[in-house]
């Protein structure tokens, strides 16, 4: 069976982006809207949602929801109804600490949004994904290349890798894929002081084959590709400037 141009196009498609008010989510929202998609940005902060929708180049709509709460997510998708693509990019600033200094309760809290939030979103969105649609999740290369202090981040990313593959099999023919970014210049690192953050970016850039850290707009193109590509599922698409090589 041949693939039609409409199957590979986002024009007129309903794209729901959870965590779409900032960082990778906002960049992807803008990129999808520029492709003609009807974008729905979802986040827990109403003001950020409104500001994000105002930045979209095309049609867009904003909704507020607690993405760590099952009832909130269930009601969200009941209200949204049918959709073509779901993108999950929600996540708070990362905590870097060695395991001896990490409170277990704190570690569990990070899973509530980044893993369980994605789990619940997939559960309630999957029955509403139109034929030819997809789900794109977010992980990170730290599952493969962790450093000291990355116990929480590496664990979440590894869990997301496995979850993505399992869902690609279980939910077929819905396509389920995951974007695995390297170090990207986003508000993910906002907990660091500005001078410390700039030094961190510079240090990382010097180690990468591309000699620079990534920008959110660049990673957004990976999400767009996975939504548009009808023959890819169950894949972890690393977009890291070559970090896993070095």
| Total of domains in the chain | 1
* pLDDT (mean) for 231-244: 97
What is the rounded radius of gyration, in angstroms, for the C-alpha atoms of the chain?
17
Count other C-beta atoms under 10 Å from residue 169's C-beta.
10
In a domain, 91, yes or no: yes
Quick: pLDDT tens for 109-155. 989 999 999 999 999 999 999 999 999 999 999 999 888 998 999 99
In a domain, 98, yes or no: yes
What CATH code is carried by the domain that includes residue 141?
3.40.50.720
* Domain that residue 130 falls in: 5-187+215-237
Mean pLDDT of the chain: 93
Give me the pLDDT at residue 5, please.
Answer: 64
Percent of the chain having pLDDT more than 90?
82
Q: What sections of 42-97 are H helices per DSSP?
A: 46-55, 70-80
196: confidence class by pLDDT, cuts 50, 70, 90: confident
pTM: 0.94
Distance CA 13, CA 4 (A): 15
In a domain, 165, yes or no: yes
In a domain, 194, yes or no: no
């Amino acid at each position: 069976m041949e693939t039609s141009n409409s199957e590979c196009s986002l024009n007129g498609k309903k794209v729901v982006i959870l965590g779409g008010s900032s960082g990778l989510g906002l960049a992807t929202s803008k990129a999808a809207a520029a492709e003609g998609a009807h974008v729905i940005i979802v986040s827990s902060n109403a003001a950020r949602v409104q500001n994000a929708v105002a930045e979209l180049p095309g049609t867009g709509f904003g909704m507020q929801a607690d993405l760590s709460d099952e009832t909130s997510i269930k009601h969200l998708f009941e209200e949204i109804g049918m959709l073509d693509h779901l993108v999950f990019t929600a996540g708070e600033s990362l905590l870097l600490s060695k395991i001896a200094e990490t409170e277990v309760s704190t570690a569990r809290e990070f899973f509530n949004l980044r893993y369980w939030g994605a789990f619940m979103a997939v559960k309630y969105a999957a029955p509403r994904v139109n034929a030819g649609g997809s789900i794109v999740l977010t992980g990170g290369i730290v599952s493969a290349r962790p450093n000291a202090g990355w116990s929480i981040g590496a664990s979440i990313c590894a869990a997301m890798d496995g979850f993505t593959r399992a869902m690609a099999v279980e939910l077929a023919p819905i396509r389920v894929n995951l974007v695995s970014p390297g170090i990207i210049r986003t508000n993910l690192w906002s907990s660091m002081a500005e001078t410390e953050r700039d030094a961190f970016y510079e240090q990382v850039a010097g180690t990468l084959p591309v000699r620079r850290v990534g920008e959110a707009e660049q990673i957004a193109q990976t999400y767009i590709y996975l939504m548009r590509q009808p023959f890819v599922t169950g894949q972890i698409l690393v977009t890291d400037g070559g970090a896993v090589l070095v």
